[in-house]
A and B are shown apart, each in its own frame.
Chain A
Amino acid sequence: YQRRVRGCIAMKTQTFARIAFRLSSTKQEILLRIVVLTLIYIIAFSTRLFSVIRFESVIHEFDPYFNFRSTKYLVNEGFYNFINWFDSAAWYPLGRIVGGTIYPGLMLTAAAVYWIAHFFHVTLQIRNVCVLLAPFFASNTALITYLFAKEVSDSAGTGLVASAMIAIVPGYISRSVAGSYDNEGIAIFALILTFYLWVKSVKTGSLFYSTLCALAYFYMVSAWGGYVFIINLIPMHVLILLFTGRYSNRLYIAYCTLYVLGTILAMQISFVGFQAVQSAEHMLALGTFGLLQLFVGVNWIKKHIGAELFQSFFRIAASIGIGSFVTALAIGQATGYISPWTGRFWTLLDPTYAKEHIPIIASVSEHQPTTWSSFFFDLHLLVFLFPAGMYFCFRRLTDANIFAILYGITSVYFAGVMVRLMLVLAPISCVLSSIAVSETLDTYLKFVKGRKGKKVEEFPAQKEIGLVMVAGLTVLLVLYVFHCTWVTSEAYSSPSIVLAAKQPDGSRMIFDDFREAYWWLRQNTEPDARVMSWWDYGYQISAMANRTVLVDNNTWNNSHIALVGKAFASNEDTAYQIMRQLDVDYVLVIFGGLTGYASDDINKFLWMVRIGGSTDPNIKESDYFTPSGEFRVDSQGSSVLLNCLMYKLCYYRFGQVYTEKGRSSGYDRVRNTEIGNKDFELDYLDEAYTSQHWIVRIYKVRSPDNRG
């Protein structure tokens, strides 16, 4: 990386020109650029391989398992069966229409890579394609960021710095390490590509680029729900340009082409469908489109009639236009033709909305508001360079700059609301920071080198100050590289399906309980057995154990999840009724008390209570707390908690186990307490399997008593 940064510097200052290349300086520059970009391409890919090297080539986490499973289905069954896929093994007994409830871009991309490779007789396994797709696309993102930053700043050097930064920025790596086979992995590529083409088409006013932009937008729509960000940001850009008097015919061509083509294309994705013209999230784009037509129409009329006549005409036209638009919008909202804003969208505007109204959204860890520390953790140096870059943009406003500023401001806000939108902020902070870096280097390297012909210094110690600045910036950039590598290696490269812990002697201990238990399910239960677990594990069970699940990570049916939550939160009798009603054969819980694995079901339990309580008022959160409002599993804990199904399934037989030296039996190493209810038997379930470290526990639901 240092080499690359120096390379950038070198290019600007052309110090390398003296090196014995028999090329013209332009050609040398191009050659250098290619070399640097190639290195960036390689580093962006290889820095994401930590997890493959440390563990193995596996799919990570939860959602990627669904994507992997559906990609396999796509590859095996073909495209038409894929879009018509009705998955009867999920959401028992409701089933799920997979084709109509997903963004298929990711699976199609992976399948395309697979098919192309196989066409050339490169027999890649589909799993490896999926595992390595995100790093591959991260490399592509780095290339596109180069173009985007170059377009925004009109400087190839800035582009290279931005490209180098995004290649290793942790905020993006967190979602694109090898094995993290998720929509975001390719969506950021599509996002930056769309923005690059948008800026390009605004600059050139070319139909060609705006059509390409619409296609890129289509790819983005097919890949990720975050496309809503694009379809709101671009109209905002258009409006700002319009209100600041920067309207041009280029803008008109670019926007109208993008909106019309992009909307028609977006409607082809069945998950989006008519939302693209009906839902409130898309109304800004429609309104802007209308306003633009009005603006152009009015200007045209103005050209043809006198100014006096125009004044009165404008007043009438404007009031009629705005009036009818507002009326239409109001009628649309009132009749429900324009769908109301979805919960996730409300959460973006009002971060407290979900907490009060929709526990299912609030319960997802990646929907939590971002803490300050994670900004630094994910962006490091960029946090400080970001405003500087913004400053440089403001100093020399262009259409493209304004877009970058707008993108920066909005994404900072969104990243503050939801942790996972840090992903959207990362690229623009790289671009803005690269502007700051290259502008600063530009300024100070001139001082260091001294301008030819100008012998007189503009201020004292000019050269020294320049040197200090350049050196300081270099040190910061080096620190950035170290930080990024460290974060990638420590925080973002564990598959979460295989856990690792350091033992006192420094050696690594591997907990492979998840795969062990899922494999047990796959091998030892009837093929149509139905497994009840909290929704977090739904995708993994269907993909790895190949068994029917009741709820999974596609949280589309709140009441069904609430029913499962209610079962876990109730006592055994009530739970048994629910489980019989849902034809449950096995119950799977995740328990960390023996190993100290903190994200287990007991720690998630309050969300089950809240979500279960959202449909059934009999489940009250306060019942699960002590009178003083604490959540405790020890003998002080509430009796409702100590007798509910989740507690019993997690702690069954745990009361006889010694976990830590000097502690009594049944000592929970996550809650750091001795459990309160130790000796109990299960009335309606039998323990079927408990994994090696007790992380996964599986129970079989008994059939009704034979003799009544």
Chain B
Amino acid sequence: DRITSCGINAEYGGDIFLPRMRHIYIASFLLLLALLVSTRTQVAQNRVLVLLEDLNLQHTHSIFFSQLKERGYQLNFFSADDPSLALTEYGEYLYDQLILFAPTIDEFGGLIDVPSILDFIDDGHNLLLVADIGVSDPIREIASECGVEFDEENTRVIDHLNFDIRDFDGYHDLVVIDPSTDKDQITQNKVVLPTAQKHGPILYKGITQSLEGSLNFPILTGSHSSYSANIKSSAEIPRTIGKETVLVSALQARNNARVVISGSLSLFSDRFFASNAQKYRKDSSTTPKASGNYQFALELSQWVFNERGVLKASNIRHYLAEEKVTPSVYTIKQDVTYEIELQEWNGNSWVPFVTDGLQLEVIMLDPYIRTSFKANTTGRYSVTFKLPDVYGVFTFKVLFEQVGYSSLEINDRIPVRPFRHNEYERFIPTAYPYYASCFSMLVGLFLFSVVYLFSK
């Protein structure tokens, strides 16, 4: 379970001068407090390892980090090549989340390397990976293992139509995405970004990426006129052009670990958070607005650290619709009810999750039944169906996969057997001629015997 209930660390130092009785009072009070707190479930995944290329980044990106701290995360800042680094100790993970703000690091320090970071993800933890122009090989490798290929060295996104007005004389690589007008450039998914679409323009300066994996999805992309190129050798044909230039993307792995990959480090910087953004237009039709980077980064970090869109299924039951009991083996053509309860984590507590998109499949090689659940407002889903007239091992499959939400897959393998010898209908109308012939034969034989024996 990713979300577990957890009490406060009731570390009782003890005061040696206190009388003995008070010890007990305090101890029991603390215990009570611990119990009270532990009943309120809260995010336990608050240990964050932040690997920085340069410890100065703490200060240049202080707004981002401080709002994380405000949300209750314990941030552990380390230089990415710190020789004392380790993700695990005695087989236990020391951190729940990983932030990699080290785009150009050539080698990680300590016990951390690329495979260990990938294992961290495969064991269900989340990663915020930030690259930038001149991204190094280890970072490329991690991204590549997560289905993302960065463009070549020293390339950057350039957009001659949508750059910030301050970049007029530059390379036009300070790109502006205005959520209010460029709706196709920012994900409209309300789970990943609930409100960022309504906020100010987003400033972006960095490398582009292309998505290779089937589980990746873009969050922020370039416009039709954007492309990726090396400013030193502009003669080259751009590698990615138009909408293919993905700027920020996400991956939700099969084990529901989340990875967000950004091609820009400055996206999260205090400078971009605080500055205004204004698209350059010849006719000066745009006005400067406060940048939306802060809101964008905030919501992105909430999603990647499992504060939103986490679902859990509970009270999964299936039983005979009439008898309300679950047999070890079902019989063909029985009416079965399947029940499931879905809840969503809203950042503080589990709340009912209601959707009309939840389906049940009854599969044996092929789906025999595919039916929608009916939900009530408490997140309780139920459906009643008749098992097909086919025996075999059926899989009751509930699969819920929607972008942004953690995916749910529940498979129950249930044998469905044919009728027992005494479960068939005893007397069927079509057999009456046969019954009649049997009994007429009996009577006939009796009459014949009588006639044969007693007639002279």
Quick check: B394 and A707 within 8 Å, CB to CB?
A: no
Contact B420 A94 (CB under 8 A): no
CB distance B393 to A706 under 8 Å? no
Count of inter-chain pairs, beta carbons less than 8 A: 73
Enumerate B405-419 residues with CB–CB distance to A below 8 Å: 413, 415-418
Instruction: Say how far B397's CB is from chain A's closest CB, in angstroms.
Output: 11
Residues of the A chain whose Cβ atoms lie less than 8 Å from the Cβ of B392: 88, 93-95
Residues of chain B lying within 8 A (CB to CB) of residue A705: 254
Contact residues in A for B255 (Cβ distance below 8 Å):
706
- Any A CB within 8 A of the CB of B253: yes
A84 contact set on B, CB distance < 8 A: 417, 420-421
Smallest CB separation, A542 vs chain B (Å): 14
- Given known A-B contacts A97-B418, A581-B365, A704 and B393 have beta carbons under 8 A apart: no
Whether A95 contacts B417 by the Cβ 8 Å rule is yes
Question: Shortest beta-carbon distance, A557 to chain B, in Å?
Answer: 11
Contact B122 A706 (CB under 8 A): yes
A707 to chain B: which residues have CB within 8 Å? 118, 121-122, 145-147, 213, 215, 251, 253-254, 259
Tell me the complex Cα distance, A706–B120, Å: 12
B16 within 8 A of A: no
Contact flags (1/0) for A83-95 with B, using CB distance below 8 Å?
Answer: 1101010001111
Proximity bits, B205-220, A CB within 8 Å = 1, else 0:
0000000011110000
With A84-B421, A86-B329, A86-B415: A95-B216 Cβ-Cβ less than 8 Å: no
Q: Is A243 an interface residue (CB 8 A)?
A: no
Are the C-beta atoms of A93 and B421 separated by less than 8 Å? no
Per-residue contact bits, chain A 54-88, to B (CB 8 Å; 1 contact, 0 not): 00000000000000000000000000100110101
| A282 nearest CB across to chain B (Å) | 20
**Roughly how many angstroms separate A95 CA and B420 CA in the complex, as a whole number?**
15
The smallest beta-carbon distance between A76 and chain B, in angstroms, is: 16
Q: Are A93 and B365 in contact (CB under 8 A)?
A: yes
- Using known A-B contacts A86-B329, A707-B215, A708-B147, determine if residue A95 contacts B251 with beta carbons closer than 8 Å: no
| B395: chain A residues within 8 A (beta carbon) | 93, 583
* Interface residue? A528 (CB, 8 A): yes
B143 to chain A, nearest CB (A): 11
Q: How far is the CA of A94 from the CA of B391 in the complex (A)?
A: 7
Interface residues of A in 579-595 (CB under 8 A from B): 581-583
Interface residues of A in 505-539 (CB under 8 A from B): 528
* Complex contact A86–B417 (CB within 8 A): yes
Q: How far is the CA of A321 from the CA of B2 in the complex (A)?
A: 82
Say whether B391 contacts A86, CB under 8 Å.
yes
Contact across chains for A708 and B122 when beta carbons are under 8 A apart: no
Contact B394 A93 (CB under 8 A): yes
Q: Is the CB of B415 within 8 A of A88?
A: yes
B364 at the interface (CB under 8 A from A): yes
Complex: how many Å from CA A500 to CA B255?
Answer: 48
Residues of A within 8 A of B145 (CB): 707
Residues of B within 8 A of A88 (CB): 329, 392-393, 415, 417
Query: Contact between B216 and A708 (Cβ–Cβ < 8 Å)?
Result: yes
Which A residue's beta carbon lies closest to that of B394? A93
Interface residues in B233-268 (C-beta closer than 8 Å to A): 251, 253-255, 257, 259
Given contacts A84-B421, A88-B393, contact A708 B213 (CB under 8 A): yes
Grouping DSSP codes into helix (H, G, I), strand (E, B) and loop, the A interface class, with mixed when no group exceeds half, is loop
Query: Which residues of B have CB within 8 Å of A704?
Result: 254
| Contact mask for chain B residues 95-125; partner A; CB cutoff 8 A; 1 contact, 0 none | 0000000000000000000000010011000
* CB interface residues, A 652-708, toward B, < 8 Å: 703-708
Enumerate chain A residues within 8 angstroms of B257, measured Cβ to Cβ. 706
Is the CB–CB distance between A92 and B393 below 8 Å?
yes
Chain B residues in 8 Å Cβ range of A528 = 413
Known pairs A88-B329, A88-B393, A93-B392; A706 contacts B421 (CB<8 A): no
Give the complex CA separation of A703 and B255 in angstroms.
Answer: 11
Distance A88 CA – B328 CA, assembled complex (angstroms)? 12
Q: Which B residue sits closest to A97, measured CB to CB?
A: B418
- The answer to whether A95 touches B393, judged by C-beta atoms less than 8 angstroms apart, is yes
CB contacts (< 8 Å) of B254 on chain A: these are 703-708
CA distance A249 to B243 in the complex (A): 97
Looking at the assembled complex, report how far the CB atom of A678 sits from the nearest CB atom of chain B, in whole angstroms.
27
Please, which residues of chain B bring their CB within 8 A of the CB of A93? 364-365, 392-395, 413
Instruction: Please determine whether B417 and A706 come into contact, CB atoms closer than 8 angstroms.
Output: no
Shortest Cβ distance from A83 into B: residue? B421
When C-beta atoms are compared, the residue in chain A nearest to B259 turns out to be A707
- B329: chain A residues at CB < 8 Å are 86, 88
| Chain A residues within an 8 Å CB radius of B216 | 708
Q: Which of A95, A99, A581, A583 contacts B391 (CB 8 A)?
A: A95
Docked-complex contact B253 and A708, CB < 8 angstroms:
yes
CA A704 – CA B365 in complex, angstroms? 19
CA distance A83 to B146 in the complex (A): 54
The answer, among A86, A582, A583, for a CB contact under 8 Å with B418, is A86
Nearest-CB residue, chain A, relative to B123: A706
A287 to B238 alpha-carbon distance, docked (Å) = 86
Cα(A581)–Cα(B395), bound, Å:
12
Output the least CB separation between B391 and chain A (Å).
6
Least Cβ–Cβ distance between B149 and chain A, in angstroms: 13
Please, which residue of chain B has its CB at the minimum distance from the CB of A563? B365
Which residues of A are found within 8 Å of B215, using beta-carbon distances? Answer: 707-708
Interface string of B362-384 (1 = CB under 8 A from A): 00110000000000000000000
A residues in contact with B394, CB < 8 Å: 93
- For the complex formed, measure the closest distance between the CB of B165 and the CB atoms of chain A, giving whole angstroms: 39
Question: What residues of chain A lie closer than 8 Å to B253, measured between beta carbons?
Answer: 706-708
| A582 closest partner in B (C-beta) | B365
Give complex CA distance A101, B356 in Å.
44
CA distance A84 to B424 in the complex (A): 12
Please measure, in the bound complex, the distance between the C-alpha atom of A708 and the C-alpha atom of B145, giving whole angstroms. Answer: 9
B393 nearest in chain A by CB position? A93
Q: Smallest distance from the beta carbon of B419 to chain A beta carbons, Å?
A: 9
List, in ascending order, chain B residues with CB within 8 A of A581's CB. 365
Least CB separation from A528: chain B residue: B413
Minimum CB distance partner of B254 in chain A: A706
Q: Which chain B residues border A83 with CB–CB below 8 Å?
A: 421
Question: In whole Å, how far is B172's beta carbon from the nearest beta carbon of chain A?
Answer: 33
> Which residues of B have CB within 8 Å of A582?
365
Residue of B at shortest CB range from A100?
B418
Give the chain A neighbours of B121 by CB distance below 8 A: 706-707
Counting chain A CB atoms within 10 Å of each CB, the highest count among B213, B394, B418 belongs to B418
What's the Cα separation between A410 and B42 when bound, in Å? Answer: 83
Question: Which of chain A's residues has its CB closest to B124's CB?
Answer: A706
Minimum CB–CB distance from B256 to chain A (whole Å) comes to: 10
CA distance A703 to B146 in the complex (A): 17
Instruction: Fill in one digit per residue for A267-281: 1 if any B CB lies within 8 Å of its CB, else 0.
Output: 000000000000000
Alpha-carbon distance A503/B416, docked complex (angstroms):
51
Which residues of chain A come closer than 8 Å to B147, judged between CB atoms?
Answer: 707-708
What is the distance, in angstroms, from A683's C-beta to the closest C-beta of chain B? 16
Residues of A within 8 A of B415 (CB): 86, 88, 95
Chain B nearest Cβ from A398, distance in angstroms? 35
Closest to B214 in A: A708
Q: Cα distance A84–B419 when bound, in Å?
A: 8
CA distance A581 to B145 in the complex (A): 26
Question: Which residues of A in the span 543-595 have a Cβ within 8 Å of any Cβ on B?
Answer: 581-583
The chain B residue sitting closest to A88, CB to CB, is B415
Alpha-carbon distance between A581 and B365 when the two chains are bound, in angstroms: 7
| A415 to B233 Cα, complex, angstroms | 85
Chain A residues with CB under 8 Å of B421's CB are 80, 83-84, 99
CB proximity of B445 to chain A, nearest CB, Å: 14
Q: What 12 new A-B contacts, CB under 8 Å, besides A86-B418, A707-B213?
A: A80-B421, A84-B417, A93-B364, A93-B395, A95-B416, A528-B413, A583-B413, A706-B253, A706-B257, A707-B121, A707-B122, A708-B146
20 A-B pairs with C-beta separation under 8 A: A83-B421, A84-B417, A86-B391, A88-B417, A93-B365, A93-B392, A93-B413, A97-B391, A97-B418, A528-B413, A582-B365, A583-B395, A703-B254, A704-B254, A706-B257, A707-B253, A708-B213, A708-B215, A708-B216, A708-B254
Counting from the closest, the 6 A-B pairs by CB-CB distance are A708-B213, A88-B415, A86-B417, A708-B215, A93-B393, A84-B420
